[in-house]
Amino acid sequence: MKFPFLFHGLIYSSLFCSCILFVISCDNQVKNENLTSVKSDSLLQVTKLSDSLNQIYDYTKNKQSYELTFLEFGSVGCAECKKMEKVLEQVRTEFHDKINVVFYNARIKENKKIFELYGIQLIPVQVLLDKNGKERFRHNGYYPFDSLKYEFYKISKF
């Protein structure tokens, strides 16, 4: 053989590549196991949050007198959200004993999981829950009081 160093170089090169691939494979397996653990923990947190919200908004079980829950997902800074603030106040005033009005601010870190749970990606979003805590209506953007009032009466016959 004229070029023995070339033959040995190919063997060493192949062996080196195999070792690198093995290390990468092991590293990816560890990352995948960690990712699975994180997903599992996250799913557990979402499940606990979902159960907690169900207990809070299911008025048949927690014996509160509300007929509906009006969830408003927004922020204090956006123009459409500012318009919705007036609507929220109208609902609180006219339906104070019938509808539980809840505002979740997108700028508060602690609300992030609730936004994820409800699949909120844009704001403002209005969600109506019946007295069992089940979602019955959803709207993105500004929604005037009269239109919202119509939805209230469609869901619950006060």
Task: State pLDDT tens for residues 30-49.
Answer: 444 444 444 455 555 667 88
List the beta strands (DSSP E) in 82-147: 99-105, 125-129, 135-140
Q: By the 8 A CB rule, do 70 and 100 touch?
A: yes
Q: Give the predicted TM-score (pTM) of the model.
A: 0.71
Q: What's the pLDDT band for 50 if we cut at 50, 70, 90?
A: confident
Same domain, 69 and 17: no
Same domain, 129 and 109: yes
Domain span including residue 17: 1-57
Same domain, 24 and 52: yes
Same domain, 92 and 128: yes
Which amino acid would we find at residue 123? I
* Residue, of 7 and 75, whose pLDDT is higher: 75
Same domain, 95 and 130: yes
Pairing of strands 135-140, 68-74: unpaired
Same domain, 50 and 73: no
From 42, 57, 72, the end of a domain falls on 57
Same domain, 75 and 127: yes
The 10 Å Cβ neighbour count of residue 18 is: 10
Looking at the chain, the whole-number percentage of residues with pLDDT higher than 90 is 61
